[in-house]
Protein backbone atom coordinates (compact mmCIF):
# COMPACT_ATOMS: atom_id res chain seq x y z
CA UNK A 1 0.00 0.00 0.00
CA UNK A 2 1.41 3.36 -1.06
CA UNK A 3 0.61 6.57 0.83
CA UNK A 4 1.41 9.96 -0.65
CA UNK A 5 0.81 13.55 0.47
CA UNK A 6 0.04 16.89 -1.20
CA UNK A 7 1.21 20.38 -0.27
CA UNK A 8 -2.44 21.11 0.56
CA UNK A 9 -2.28 18.45 3.29
CA UNK A 10 -4.34 15.71 1.67
CA UNK A 11 -3.21 12.11 1.94
CA UNK A 12 -3.93 9.46 -0.70
CA UNK A 13 -3.47 5.76 -0.07
CA UNK A 14 -3.56 3.33 -3.00
CA UNK A 15 -4.70 -0.25 -2.41
CA UNK A 16 -4.99 -2.19 -5.68
CA UNK A 17 -6.99 0.02 -8.08
CA UNK A 18 -8.75 2.05 -5.41
CA UNK A 19 -7.29 5.06 -3.60
CA UNK A 20 -8.61 6.50 -0.36
CA UNK A 21 -8.26 10.26 0.29
CA UNK A 22 -8.39 12.33 3.46
CA UNK A 23 -6.70 15.21 5.23
CA UNK A 24 -3.60 14.81 7.35
CA UNK A 25 -3.22 14.87 11.12
CA UNK A 26 -1.45 18.21 10.73
CA UNK A 27 -4.31 19.63 8.62
CA UNK A 28 -6.99 18.69 11.15
CA UNK A 29 -4.90 20.18 13.96
CA UNK A 30 -4.74 23.46 12.05
CA UNK A 31 -8.49 23.42 11.26
CA UNK A 32 -9.64 22.66 14.77
CA UNK A 33 -13.00 21.06 15.56
CA UNK A 34 -14.61 19.89 12.32
CA UNK A 35 -18.38 20.48 12.31
CA UNK A 36 -19.37 19.88 8.68
CA UNK A 37 -18.12 17.71 5.84
CA UNK A 38 -19.34 17.41 2.25
CA UNK A 39 -18.04 14.50 0.16
CA UNK A 40 -18.30 13.81 -3.60
CA UNK A 41 -21.01 11.53 -4.93
CA UNK A 42 -19.99 8.32 -6.70
CA UNK A 43 -19.20 8.83 -10.37
CA UNK A 44 -18.08 12.43 -10.09
CA UNK A 45 -15.00 13.23 -12.16
CA UNK A 46 -12.20 14.62 -10.00
CA UNK A 47 -9.47 16.91 -11.31
CA UNK A 48 -6.08 17.16 -9.63
CA UNK A 49 -5.90 20.34 -7.56
CA UNK A 50 -9.63 21.11 -7.87
CA UNK A 51 -12.25 20.95 -5.11
CA UNK A 52 -13.42 17.42 -4.33
CA UNK A 53 -14.83 17.82 -0.83
CA UNK A 54 -15.51 20.48 1.80
CA UNK A 55 -14.46 20.55 5.44
CA UNK A 56 -15.63 23.21 7.88
CA UNK A 57 -14.54 24.02 11.41
CA UNK A 58 -16.49 26.28 13.80
CA UNK A 59 -14.75 29.29 12.30
CA UNK A 60 -13.85 28.54 8.70
CA UNK A 61 -14.65 26.59 5.56
CA UNK A 62 -11.88 24.84 3.62
CA UNK A 63 -11.73 22.82 0.42
CA UNK A 64 -10.29 19.36 0.07
CA UNK A 65 -8.62 19.05 -3.32
CA UNK A 66 -8.32 15.94 -5.46
CA UNK A 67 -4.66 14.85 -5.16
CA UNK A 68 -4.76 13.34 -8.68
CA UNK A 69 -7.17 12.99 -11.62
CA UNK A 70 -9.75 10.25 -11.40
CA UNK A 71 -13.32 9.33 -10.54
CA UNK A 72 -15.01 9.28 -7.13
CA UNK A 73 -16.47 5.89 -6.28
CA UNK A 74 -17.62 6.46 -2.71
CA UNK A 75 -17.96 9.32 -0.21
CA UNK A 76 -17.56 8.46 3.47
CA UNK A 77 -21.05 8.77 4.96
CA UNK A 78 -19.57 8.21 8.43
CA UNK A 79 -17.74 11.59 8.41
CA UNK A 80 -20.83 13.32 7.02
CA UNK A 81 -22.82 11.93 9.96
CA UNK A 82 -20.04 12.51 12.51
CA UNK A 83 -17.58 15.18 11.30
CA UNK A 84 -15.54 14.84 14.53
CA UNK A 85 -14.04 11.65 13.05
CA UNK A 86 -11.85 13.94 10.95
CA UNK A 87 -10.27 15.18 14.19
CA UNK A 88 -10.14 11.92 16.08
CA UNK A 89 -8.90 9.65 13.28
CA UNK A 90 -7.91 11.77 10.26
CA UNK A 91 -5.79 9.13 8.55
CA UNK A 92 -8.14 6.24 9.40
CA UNK A 93 -11.92 6.30 9.95
CA UNK A 94 -11.96 10.01 9.08
CA UNK A 95 -11.26 9.44 5.35
CA UNK A 96 -13.28 11.58 2.89
CA UNK A 97 -13.70 9.57 -0.33
CA UNK A 98 -12.45 6.69 -2.43
CA UNK A 99 -11.50 7.15 -6.07
CA UNK A 100 -10.06 5.37 -9.07
CA UNK A 101 -7.05 6.97 -10.71
CA UNK A 102 -6.86 8.14 -14.31
CA UNK A 103 -3.10 7.85 -14.25
CA UNK A 104 -1.50 6.06 -11.28
CA UNK A 105 1.89 7.51 -12.28
CA UNK A 106 0.63 10.89 -11.01
CA UNK A 107 1.25 9.57 -7.49
CA UNK A 108 4.98 9.73 -8.18
CA UNK A 109 4.72 13.52 -8.26
CA UNK A 110 3.43 13.64 -4.67
CA UNK A 111 5.42 13.53 -1.40
CA UNK A 112 6.18 10.39 0.56
CA UNK A 113 5.94 10.35 4.36
CA UNK A 114 9.49 11.58 4.95
CA UNK A 115 9.14 14.41 2.42
CA UNK A 116 5.77 15.44 3.85
CA UNK A 117 7.09 15.43 7.42
CA UNK A 118 9.90 17.74 6.30
CA UNK A 119 7.37 19.92 4.44
CA UNK A 120 5.21 20.28 7.58
CA UNK A 121 8.28 21.07 9.65
CA UNK A 122 9.01 23.91 7.23
CA UNK A 123 5.47 25.33 7.75
CA UNK A 124 6.18 26.36 11.33
Partner 1 sequence: MSIDTDSPSLVTPLNALHRELGAKMVPFAGYDMPVQYPLGVLKEHLHTREKAGLFDVSHMGQVILRGGDPVAALEKLVPGDLRALKQGRIRYSFFTNDQAGILDDLMIANMGDHLFLVVNAACKVPDIAHLKAGLPGVEVEYLGDDRGLLALQGPVAATVLARFVPEVATMPFMSLITASLKSIPVTIARSGYTGEDGYEIGIDPDRTEDVARLLLAEPEVAAIGLGARDSLRLEAGLCLYGHDIDTTTTPVEGGLTWAISKRRREEGGYPGDAIVRRQLAEGASRYRVGIQPEGRAPAREHTEIQDAAGQTVGEVTSGGFGPSANAPVAMGYVTAANAAVGTPVSLIVRGKALPAKVAALPFVPQRYYRG
Is 124 an interacting residue with respect to partner 1 (CB under 8 A)?
Answer: no
Is 28 an interacting residue with respect to partner 1 (CB under 8 A)?
Answer: no
Q: Looking at beta carbons only, is 17 or 59 nearer to partner 1?
A: 59
Backbone φ and ψ of 37, nearest 5°: -135, 140
> What order do you get walking across the sheet with 97-101 strand by strand?
2-5, 10-15, 18-23, 97-101, 70-75, 45-46
Three-state DSSP state, 2:
strand
Q: Looking at beta carbons only, is 17 or 123 nearer to partner 1?
A: 123
Residues 47-66 that bind partner 1 (CB under 8 A): 54, 56-61
Is 82 an interacting residue with respect to partner 1 (CB under 8 A)?
Answer: no
First to last CA, the chain: 29
Q: Count CA atoms within 13 Å of residue 113 on its CB side.
A: 6
Using the contact rule CB under 8 A, the part of the chain among 27-35, 92-100, 101-109, 110-118 near partner 1 is 27-35
Is 36 an interacting residue with respect to partner 1 (CB under 8 A)?
Answer: yes
Residue ranges binding partner 1 (CB under 8 A): 32-33, 35-36, 38, 54, 56-61
Amino acid sequence: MTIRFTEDHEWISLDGDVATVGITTFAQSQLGDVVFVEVPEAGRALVKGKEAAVVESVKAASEVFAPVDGTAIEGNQAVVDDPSLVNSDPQGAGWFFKMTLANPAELDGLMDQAAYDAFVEGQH
